Structure 1
Amino acid sequence: MSERLRLTAPLPSLDAWVEAFARAEIPVLAETAEAIEYMRAMEDDVDAHGLAQLIESDPLMTLKVLARANELKRGRSAGLMADPETVTAALVLMGITPFFRDFGRQATLEEALADHEEALLGLSRVMQRAERSSRYALGFAAHRADPDAAIIHSAALLHDFAEMLLWVHAPDLALKIAELQEQDRHLRSAIAQRQMLGIELADLEQALMKRWHLPDLLTRITNDKHARDPQVRCVHLAVRLARHTARGWDDAAVPDDLHDIAELLNLSPEHTLRLLHDFD
Structure 2
Amino acid sequence: MSTDLRPLTAALPDLASWTAALRDRPIPLLASSAAALAALAEAEETHGNVDAHRIDVAIDDDPLATLWVLDLAARQRHVRQVTPAETITSAVMMLGIGTFFRASAEARVVEDLLANQPQAREGLAAVLRRAHRSARFALGFGIHRMESDVTLLRIAALLHDVTEMLLWCHAPALIGEVAARLHADPTLRSETAQRDVLHVSLIDLEQSLLRAWHLPERLLRLTDDHAEGLALVQPQRRLVKLAVQLARHTQSGWDNAALPDDIEELSQLLNLSPMAVRGLLGELDS
TM-score, structure 1 normalization: 0.95
Distance 2:108 2:214 in 1: 23
Which residue of the other structure, out of 233, 236, 249, is the alignment partner of 1:231?
Answer: 236
Partner of 2:202 in structure 1?
Answer: 201
Aligned-residue offset at 1:148: 1.5
Deviant stretches of 4+, over 2 Å: none
Which residue of the other structure, out of 244, 247, 270, is the alignment partner of 1:265?
Answer: 270
- Whichever residue aligns with residue 87 of structure 2, its letter is T
Distance 1:192 1:127 in 2: 20
Aligned-residue offset at 1:105: 4.5
Aligned-residue offset at 1:106: 3.1
Distance 2:100 2:118 in 1: 32
Distance 1:162 1:32 in 2: 19
Aligned-residue offset at 1:114: 1.5
Distance 1:146 1:23 in 2: 36
Deviates more, 1:116-125 or 1:251-260: 251-260
Partner of 2:60 in structure 1?
Answer: 56
Question: Residues 194 and 201 of structure 2 are in contact (CA less than 8 Å); yes or no, is this contact kept in structure 1?
Answer: yes
Aligned-residue offset at 1:110: 1.4
Question: Residues 12 and 198 of structure 2 are in contact (CA less than 8 Å); yes or no, is this contact kept in structure 1?
Answer: yes
Partner of 2:155 in structure 1?
Answer: 154
CA deviations 1:125-154 (Å, max 9, x no partner) are 001110110110111111111111111111
Aligned-residue offset at 1:62: 0.3
CA RMSD after TM alignment: 1.2
Distance 1:70 1:168 in 2: 22
CA deviations 1:80-129 (Å, max 9, x no partner) are xx221111111111122221012214322111112211111011000111
Identical pairs, percent = 45
Distance 1:162 1:243 in 2: 15
TM-score, structure 2 normalization: 0.94
Partner of 1:88 in structure 2?
Answer: 89
Distance 2:185 2:234 in 1: 31
Partner of 2:180 in structure 1?
Answer: 179
Partner of 1:143 in structure 2?
Answer: 144
Aligned-residue offset at 1:9: 0.8
Q: Helix, strand or coil for the counterpart of 1:164?
A: helix
Q: Are 1:279 and 2:280 an aligned pair?
A: no
* Number of residue pairs aligned between Structure 1 and Structure 2: 277
Q: Helix, strand or coil for the counterpart of 1:166?
A: helix
Question: Residues 48 and 88 of structure 1 are in contact (CA less than 8 Å); yes or no, is this contact kept in structure 2?
Answer: yes
Equivalences for 1:6-155 in 2 at 5 Å? 6-43=7-44, 44-73=48-77, 75-79=78-82, 82-155=83-156
Q: Helix, strand or coil for the counterpart of 1:20?
A: helix
Aligned-residue offset at 1:55: 2.1
Distance 1:38 1:104 in 2: 11
